[in-house]
Chains A and B, each alone.
Chain A
Amino acid sequence: MSSPGRPVPPEQPEAAATGPEILLATKLRAPGQRPGLIPRPRLGQRLDQGLGHGLVLVCAPAGYGKTVLLADWVRRSACPAAWLSLDPGDNDPARFWRHAVAALDRVRPGLSGRAGALLGPPAPASFEPLLAVLINELAAQPESAPALLVLDDYHVIRSAAVHQSVEFLMEHRPPGLCLAIASRSDPPLALARLRARGLLTEVRATELRFTGPEAAALLGQSLAGRDQLPDDVIAALASRTEGWAAGLQLAALSLRGQRDLGGFVAAFTGSHRYVLDYLTEEVLEQQDEQLRAFLLETSVLDQLSGELCDAVTGRAGGQALLERAEQSGLFLVPLDEVRHWWRYHHLFADLLRVRLQREQPERAAQLHRGAAAWYGERGLADEAIQHALAAGDLAWAARMIEQHFDEVFYQRGEQATISRWLAALPAGLVQARPRLLLARATVANAAGEVDAVEPLVEAAQQAAAGTQEPFTPTVGRAASMLANIPALIALDRSYLAQFRDDTDGTAEFAAAALAASDPAEWLLRSIAHGFLAVAEWRRGRLAAAESSFAASSAGWRAGGQPTVTAWGGYQLAQVQRAQGRPDAAVQTCRQTLDITMPGGGPPLPAAGPAHVVLGDIAYQRDDLDAALRYAADGVALCRQFVYGPPLAAGLATLAWVRQASGDPEAAMSAMTEAAQIAPGPVSPLNPVPALLARLRLAQGDLAGAERWSQESGLSPDDPPEYAREAGHLALARVLLATGQPGPALALLGRLHEAATAQDRPGSLLEISALQALALAAASEHEAALTALAAALTLACPRGLVRVFADEGAPMGVLLDQLVAARRAGQPAAGALAPGWVSRVQRALEAGRSAAPGRAGAGPAALPEPLTPRELQVLGMLAAGLSNQAIARQLVVTLDTVKKHVSHVLGKLGAANRTEAVALARDLGLISLPGAARRGPVLAHSVLARQPGHTGQTGPDRTLVPRPAGEDSTRRGTFG
């Protein structure tokens, strides 16, 4: 199996890691035990019960021993456990899920390779496709023990996007996953519903309080070698601390150094001072000055290593002090096996920080500055920036943000992190720095706040005049957007022009960006070429569009970004198809598949768009079997792809295949879904609304087609404009179907003229075919045959059959006339390759005999077709789900599932589930094993119903391969 994920065994010494991932390993490991762990079997049993229920919530205030409890449980449990210690940086959903996937990869090796591509680049507009992959991957191994995912310190999460995605995972939790959440406050996750359904096991403060015997055990340890503590002392301490683990632990520490035990207990229990304040002071007083100063100074750090501590305190010996502190039980939690990284217990760190602030108010800033420099040198941007902000070094933080922007925003897709950084800087500072202004403009674009972009770009232009600061982006200049200020400003202006539907402006500014950039700056140039290509495409200048898309695609490929390369390749192939060059489009798709199906192995989601184009071309060439196969696989893959248009196009092809196979109902259902994903208006990149109108016509729904033509705002008197050509061609068909050949002819004539002027054979052959029908309807029979012959002549070398066959009966009549005319030797019939006309006629004939339910291939081959629900159940059977799992997934009763399964077996004539799945694959009801494993469980049941899950398409401006989501209409549910 090929997985580009880390083949690194978890046991590899984490200290060996370098770069920004240094600290990742420490987040993915259950914190080590501090000395003197008190076994608490009553709580362990409680957690074990929860394993079967699906969600465990350990919820109590700070210092109740939540982490210790879970870490101990995980170490004892037979279940493979993935651990994630959350920190405030995880409020970025991209970062949160990257970490969660890395954690799960340790219990399901290879998972991050399969899911990783969905994390970007480009940043996903929605995390549901990623979650669908995770859920299906975890569901696909029902035989193995359930995996446990622990999310510790969940209270640091405030991001609604993260909460929503965690809730989604919980709602669709596969049987192979148990989620355990530790938090100081109840997470906003619809707990009541889970509780009511008996899916939630809770351990709360009441249960976490130490009982008398537990407290005695804990306190007793601290006095090892001395007399036993009297019962009344234990009772007094347990009562004063209310069984609070942190309080008891500190009390135990304090007891250690006490000569006058009775006096200490009396003073402590008699005081009303905040327990921890009191005890921390006691404990600190017992330490020598060196250790005490070290504890206070290093309290500003969220993670501690000897080296970092030395850098921050300006003194050597940090490692030894850390080890001493850990041995003394001073709340130092080891984060790895090799005693390289620790953290303080969060509560203890807070108490130390308060003391530092009181005793040396000026010192904290200095310490933060040292930490910022240390992290900065190691490329740990977030930590460096947080410390710099805490130190008040705002200009330093600003430079750091600029240098890391490209990496964090474009490569890691952590848009929320960039927003958080920018929000922490004062407006005046941002206003003076063009790169920060442009970074803000990029963030605004990604958030769909287009109105905010222009003023920022203007301000950047102003500020740029004054800056000559050297700039070294961490990604290198070639992969940086911020490096080249003038080019980026031009690019943003091109982008703004797209939003104003200003095609000329789009092209002009894109060209300016290209002119201002260095040939090596591939990221900037790939985007600029993409903008330019879309503008040229809309203008009908297909050759120019092709060369720009090719340049753009080549850039993405060289930059090693499979997802965007696949998207660029898709657009390139679509232009080639529109040019009437299907072979070139096929070639482009094959090249894309080279990188999206690495080594011919299982396809990445990014292989979906190429499958879709191959399906479309196979369909146009009347190879319905291949078309069905490609389209079905393409659709399954595209459900996990970041851009919506290929999914819509794949569904549209599926619709036409079904229509041609005699299953109009299934055809309309696929086309309707396509139209939901890609609503109007019609454009070169989005022909779906026009295709829906055509399908309605083909199914005799004249009223529906007319309604579309009225709502589309298109008129037969419109000037020809390539951007709306697909719409105009659909309109011409509506006019013909409603007996108005005159206006249709006028419209088609203008379109023909424009296509001739721009040398677009792909358009000409379709226009000519429709002109033939219109002329025939206007009783101009000879001219009709001439037009038809011209269309056939163009279509023949390209092998395009369906452009005629899909026009149905009137085209059949016309073809018969053409054959007769040729037999009679009429010149209008022209010269055509032998056999070509009869091939087209055969396709038409096959369509006529493909009565519903009696087709040669595809879903319609069943005597009694499956309902959508049964298809869904079939997909889940193929994914290996049990009846129970299906019932849970669909939220129906077990009996209902059994009924569905028996219907599926009956309709397929299968003896058992295995046979049903095999038959269904043969019939093309479900896609190939590779694709089926990745897709169907959720793809059909849940995601399909959620508009925008793949990112809806708006006008063409939304379709440009900008690595980050750039339009609100493309933003997913979690965006």
Chain B
Amino acid sequence: MTEPTHYEIRVEGILDDHWAAWFEGLQVTSDGEHTTLSGPLPDESALHGALARIRDLGMHLISVRRLDIGTPGEEAPL
């Protein structure tokens, strides 16, 4: 099994944390205007599944980030 990858997905609008179960257990936090879904996903298919769910709710996507690469101060694996 490959290691799960950590992702951070930001969307417009505020979602309650009860949406976590809807998004494969990603952590749901909001800052008053935007919501951040973050946490480990087993693979890229799961990421696309989460993105499809955002699409299916008609929410606006702001950004998607893999947390283990390109993050200042963190070494990229491989």
Q: Which residues of A contact B (CB under 8 A)?
A: 61-64, 155, 184-185, 244, 246, 271-277, 346-347, 350, 353-354, 357-358, 361
Contact = CB atoms under 8 A, between A and B. Distances in A.
Interface residues of B, number: 16
Contacts of B16: 273, 277
B69 to A, nearest CB: 26
A63 B58 contact: yes
Interface in B8-45: 13-16, 18-19, 21-22, 32-33, 35
A62 B55 contact: yes
A184 B55 contact: yes
A184 B14 contact: no
B74 interface: no
Contacts of A244: 58
A847 B8 CA distance: 79
Given A272-B32, A354-B19, A357-B22, A347 B56 contact: yes
Given A62-B56, A62-B57, A244-B58, A273 B13 contact: yes
Q: Taking each of B14, B15, B35, B57, which has the highest tally of chain A beta carbons within 10 Å of its own beta carbon?
A: B57
Contacts of A271: 14
A184 to B, nearest CB: 6
Contacts of A350: 22, 56-57
Contacts of B62: none
Nearest to B21: A357
22 contacts: A63-B58, A155-B55, A184-B56, A244-B58, A246-B58, A272-B32, A272-B33, A273-B13, A273-B16, A274-B13, A274-B14, A274-B15, A274-B35, A276-B57, A277-B15, A277-B16, A347-B56, A354-B18, A354-B21, A357-B18, A357-B22, A361-B21
A649 B54 CA distance: 55
Given A63-B58, A354-B19, 10 more contacts: A61-B55, A246-B58, A272-B14, A272-B32, A272-B33, A273-B14, A273-B15, A277-B15, A354-B18, A357-B22
Contact of B56 (A277, A346, A358): A346
B50 to A, nearest CB: 14
Contacts of A273: 13-16
A354 B22 contact: yes
Nearest to A354: B22
Contact of A272 (B13, B19, B55, B59): B13
A276 B16 CA distance: 12
Contacts of B19: 354
Contacts of A277: 15-16
Contacts of B56: 62, 184, 346-347, 350
A276 B56 CA distance: 12
A185 B18 CA distance: 26
A61 B55 CA distance: 6
B70 to A, nearest CB: 26
Contacts of B58: 61-64, 244, 246, 276, 347
A64 B14 CA distance: 20
Nearest to B33: A272
A326 B9 CA distance: 36
Nearest to B35: A274
Contacts of B18: 354, 357-358
B17 to A, nearest CB: 10
A63 B57 CA distance: 8
A72 to B, nearest CB: 20
Contacts of A274: 13-15, 35, 57, 59
